[in-house]
Amino acid sequence: MSRLPYVPGFARPAGPDGKAGRARGGAKAAGKALRERVPRAAHARWEAAAGRPGAVETVESSNAGRLPELVPIRVGRMAASPFAFLRGTAGLMGHDLADTAVTGIGAQLCGDAHAANFGLYGDARGELIIDLNDFDETLYGPWEWDVKRLAASLVLAGREAGAAEDVCRAAARDAVGAYRRTMRLLARMPAADAWNAIADEELVSHADAHQLLGTLERVAEKARRNTSARFAARSTEKDGEGGRRFVDAPPVLRRVPDAEAAAVALALGEYRETLPAELLPLLARYEVQDVAFRVVGTGSVGLRSYVVLLLDHRGEALVLQVKEARPSVLLPYADKAGFSAFPASDAGHDGRRVVLGQKRMQVVSDVLLGWATVDGRPYQVRQFRNRKGSVDAAALGPDEIDDYGRMTGALLARAHAHSADPSLIAGYCGKSEELEESVAAFAAGYADRMERDHAELVAAIRSGRLAAELGV
């Protein structure tokens, strides 16, 4: 027996009989025991519940509170394809997932872990990292929800790319298989090593994604050029007083009235207080120059999103994005599934929820992540164009889509392992391929439903019920 008392917040020591406690092996057995209550085959099943909202009703309700003049852009982007429709309807899928099997194991979720929400970004030294990169819907919930959303999105992306159905289903199956194998690997590693895995240079080999190398190299080359300075050079002009200002480029970028710009600029004072103290001297070397409104994303179109131009003593630009944060659309469904939506420390400010959720899931995060409040609304703040790049999953060839599935599945497992015990999930997933076969079956069936929902949306646009601005 240990001679030291149990310290709250740490793993419990072995019991007096000398047997290992939960932290030393009991978690794997506990995960395995969950198969009795929730068989892995149960994850294949989903049927639309009675009273499920239709596609048009879903889009109309999700447009509430958005800027009306931008709603047609959002609808137009969602109408582009079934994959695009899925990207804009995380809430609808949350409604559907609430009726699927869950083990009760919780993790910090991305909340919107579709295939387009993984990508490259720069760390503090400019090195490229690949990871999940969108956390607007992050919250604590069932780990299975992220896995199923990723799998369904891969089927839809593959179909959009023209891949055969067996290829699309294989991509979903391989993503779940990589998730399962990565979780088993992390469970066998020392805790600190697992926390910092997976090194980027090892990721392709670990996920057996060698066919994807050429695409990743092209994306990385483009990402290295995708900087604040490059964006500022294209989107600003001299203001005649020694500074620079944004140039209107409607409908995506537009200048804002002075009072609105001032409110955003003043909110950066609160934002500074959310950053580590050692970064404050860095921000003190920049002068706030201008603020503009910029439309971004698919699901986020219509929310308030600003870019703030800052210049240092040499006139070099740093651009921050100040993006409105709303409650996660999964919140009511996480409650229904028996999960606390978020830790108490996140409550009260959705910008804080997004930022802390992101930091809980990524190995390396933007050092300038923070939050602020503008006119009573919560916002997240981050670097804009921080060497970001993404793989267009819907443009991948048949020999690449399954590689991409394996890579994203591995990344998702690593992200979940920061908040969930990898031994617990690995114990449930096991050594067989039963879980991936079940989730792949779910993904194919759910993709079929998304195609029908998308067709309903397109019909509503053609009938004039919904206004849509296409190609923006």
- The whole-number average pLDDT for the span 5-15 is 80
Q: Are 436 and 180 in contact (CB under 8 A)?
A: yes
Q: Are 308 and 265 in contact (CB under 8 A)?
A: yes
Predicted confidence (pLDDT) per residue in 298-334, tens digit: 778 999 999 999 999 999 999 999 999 999 999 999 9
pLDDT above 90: percentage of residues in the chain: 81
Place of tokens 């995960």: 31
Query: What are the phi and psi torsion angles at 36 (to 5°)?
Result: -65, -40
pLDDT at 344: 62
Residue ranges of domains in the chain: 64-104+132-224+395-472, 227-386
pLDDT category at 337 given cuts 50, 70, 90 is confident
pLDDT at 191: 92
pLDDT at 295: 93
pLDDT at 450: 98
pLDDT at 18: 44
List 245's β-bridge partners, or say none: 237
For residue 38, pLDDT over 90 is answered with yes
DSSP string of 253-322, one letter each residue: EEE--HHHHHHHHHHHHHHHTTS-GGGHHHHTT-EEEEEEEE---STTBTB-EEEEEEE-TT--EEEEEE
For residue 16, pLDDT over 80 is answered with no
The C-alpha angle with vertex 103 and arms to 100 and 107, in degrees rounded to 5, equals 100
Token output for 132 = 């999940």
- The whole-number average pLDDT for the span 53-70 is 94
**Terminal-to-terminal C-alpha distance of the chain:** 66
For residue 91, pLDDT over 80 is answered with yes
Token output for 17 = 């009989």
Angstrom distance (rounded) from CA 353 to CA 361: 12
Place of tokens 């959009």: 160
Predicted confidence (pLDDT) per residue in 425-467, tens digit: 999 999 999 999 999 999 999 999 999 999 999 999 999 999 9
Angstrom distance (rounded) from CA 19 to CA 28: 14
Q: Hey, is 374 helix, strand or coil?
A: strand
For the ranges 15-19, 51-55, 197-201, 340-344, the lowest mean pLDDT is seen at 15-19
pLDDT at 13: 75
Q: Are 287 and 311 in contact (CB under 8 A)?
A: yes
Predicted confidence (pLDDT) per residue in 242-256, tens digit: 899 999 999 999 999
Nearest one of 441, 440, 427 to 180, comparing CA atoms: 427
Q: When comparing pLDDT for 297 and 127, which is higher?
A: 127
pLDDT category at 178 given cuts 50, 70, 90 is very high
Angstrom distance (rounded) from CA 333 to CA 55: 18
Predicted confidence (pLDDT) per residue in 355-367, tens digit: 999 999 999 999 9
pLDDT at 461: 97
Place of tokens 């300038």: 368
List 440's β-bridge partners, or say none: none
Token output for 110 = 């991305």
pLDDT at 198: 64
- The whole-number average pLDDT for the span 35-43 is 98
What is the average pLDDT score of the chain? 92
Angstrom distance (rounded) from CA 139 to CA 343: 9
For residue 338, pLDDT over 90 is answered with no
